[in-house]
Amino acid sequence: MKDYANMSPAEVRALIRAGEITTPTAGMSLGYAQANLVILPKDLAYDFLLFAQRNPKPCPILEVSDVGSRYLKKIAPGADIARDIPRYRIYEDGVMTGEYTDVSEFWRDDFVSFLIGCSFSFESELLNAGVPVRHIEEGCNVPMYITNIPCEPAGVFSGNTVVSMRPIPYAQVTTAVTATAAMPRVHGAPIHIGDPDYIGINDISKPDFGDPVTIKPGETPVFWCCGVTPQAVLMASKPKFAITHAPGHMLITDVLNVDLKNQ
Amino acid sequence: MKDYANMSPAEVRALIRAGEITTPTAGMSLGYAQANLVILPKDLAYDFLLFAQRNPKPCPILEVSDVGSRYLKKIAPGADIARDIPRYRIYEDGVMTGEYTDVSEFWRDDFVSFLIGCSFSFESELLNAGVPVRHIEEGCNVPMYITNIPCEPAGVFSGNTVVSMRPIPYAQVTTAVTATAAMPRVHGAPIHIGDPDYIGINDISKPDFGDPVTIKPGETPVFWCCGVTPQAVLMASKPKFAITHAPGHMLITDVLNVDLKNQ
């Protein structure tokens, strides 16, 4: 097992491009922000950008590519959007029709890529503050749930908010809130603390995406808006064609997490 | 003189709609946010929304209307975008061709309205922190300057950043920074402190928009990104048709300034 944690983002992206990494990216290139991906044709780009503007907590935009370009100028110069993510999903009419480790064969000149902040960025803040991050401890993907909290619709896009969940010891809940509130570009403060049922999650042991994690006695589940929300929205809004990352399989950017803090 | 300062936003907007107020809006409905306006046809809306996304300091979006709608759902329910601003400007091919107190006769079904945060919102924070706000003291419009700081281009839109300037006593500069940094949705922290020449302002006594103000001994000019930036961009990018507010003549929203702080 190579030491992905201490490799640079460019090194890890090169291994992903070469097909040597196809796993979730949590813990790779520690200290660097990871990003969610949505690729849409230009005729849907305005509605999606407006959707993101109206729903900044689940959809904090880090960068939008130029039309047709597979390259990013700001957050990952040199990256190829169509090849540098370990696993992609293609949605047709709202149905996931396949997973791929390379989507360059599907690329079109009218595609626009949206890169969206990821809660992995604030996990190092939580760890630095002494707050445990259970899915890292248990070596699995973070559990994610579709809630009953509607997003603000925009054009053809509507749907409910997806959240990620981390069990937090009661004594550390306020620390978890303040540590993440300082990072609004990666979802910011929690959207809910406590009862899963209150936000429409009927069974906390059965996440809609990712893996279940242990909630220990003396801990409460804390929920943050999640960049997988666009995938729930794509399923609900059924655009003809869209590409996303597979949950947990992110773009590793050249942006340091600390640079995503309030300034 | 009526007491506009203590009227509700809806009351002031009604007087504006009736043509009884045609002046700058600084100091009206104290405590409520005011907003800059850009109205563009839908075919330019994506480029402009992307421009705002790429330039959040000068162009922090508070709300985007639905296509063709003159109404706002969030920040000023009940307001009529085409009539509730005291003075509008029409730009054709980048040239300002007229000022109007009502633009309803120009309204088209393909118009999209962008409402952008205004530095007036943080002036009450400065005053509360004991920091003087010179243009309020002198009863004039805030001075605004076109700088040499390029915005990040997006599609057809490009141009330089416009800033507003407030002279701040040296001992209070850090207070002015921290008070405004807490309000990123209304331009946030200053973009420059000190030498105007450094950002391309050759004569501080001749603002490009608004009025000059006195800089006293022991004070330094402090510059914040300004929501008039889109007007400089319209002049530079020359779209066929656009409507904006006249500088200083803002939409008074129902949003409290305190609700624009970091949460």
Separation of CA A95 from chain center: 19
pLDDT for B14 equals 96
A69 and B CB contact within 8 Å: no
Residue B91: other Cβ atoms inside 10 A: 22
A50 and B CB contact within 8 Å: yes
Q: Which residue has the tokens 């107190």?
A: B101
Which among A50, A59, A116 is the top mutation candidate for probing chain B, defined by the most B β-carbons within 10 Å of its own β-carbon?
A50
Buried b (16+ CB within 10 A) or exposed e, B159-196: bbbbbbbbbbbeebbebbeebbeebbbbbbbbbbbeeb
- Check B50 against A53: CB less than 8 A apart: no
Contact assessment for residue B118 and residue B250, using Cβ atoms and an 8 Å cutoff:
yes
Residues 6+ apart with CB under 8 A from B84: B13, B16, B17, B76, B251
Structure tokens at B215: 């800089």
Nearest by CB: B45 against A46, A181, A263: A46
Alpha-carbon gap, residue B125 to B222, rounded angstroms: 15
pLDDT for B160 equals 95
φ/ψ of residue A32, rounded to 5 = -105, 145
Contact assessment for residue B223 and residue B199, using Cβ atoms and an 8 Å cutoff:
yes
Alpha-carbon distances, residue A37 vs A88, A118, A144, B200 (angstroms):
9, 10, 16, 38
pLDDT for A262 equals 64
Average pLDDT, chain B: 93
pLDDT for B182 equals 87
pLDDT for B196 equals 97
End-to-end CA distance of chain B: 37
Nearest to A228, CA basis, from A201, A208, A202, A256: A208
Q: Which residue has the tokens 């920091």?
A: B131
H or E element, residue A179? helix A173-181
- Check A54 against B46: CB less than 8 A apart: no
- B57: nearest CA in chain A? A263
Separation in Å, CA of A263 to nearest CA in chain B: 7
Residue B223: other Cβ atoms inside 10 A: 25
For chain B positions 187-216, those within 8 Å of chain A (CB to CB) are 188-189
**pLDDT by residue for chain A (263 residues), tens digit each?**
578 989 999 999 999 999 999 998 988 998 899 999 999 999 999 999 999 999 999 999 999 999 999 999 999 999 999 999 999 999 999 999 999 999 999 999 999 999 999 988 888 889 989 999 999 899 888 999 999 999 999 999 999 999 999 999 999 999 999 999 988 888 899 999 999 999 999 999 999 999 999 999 999 999 999 999 988 898 888 999 999 999 889 999 999 988 887 65
pLDDT for B65 equals 96
- Check A54 against B64: CB less than 8 A apart: yes
For chain A positions 15-44, those within 8 Å of chain B (CB to CB) are 42
Residue stretches of chain B with pLDDT short of 50: 263
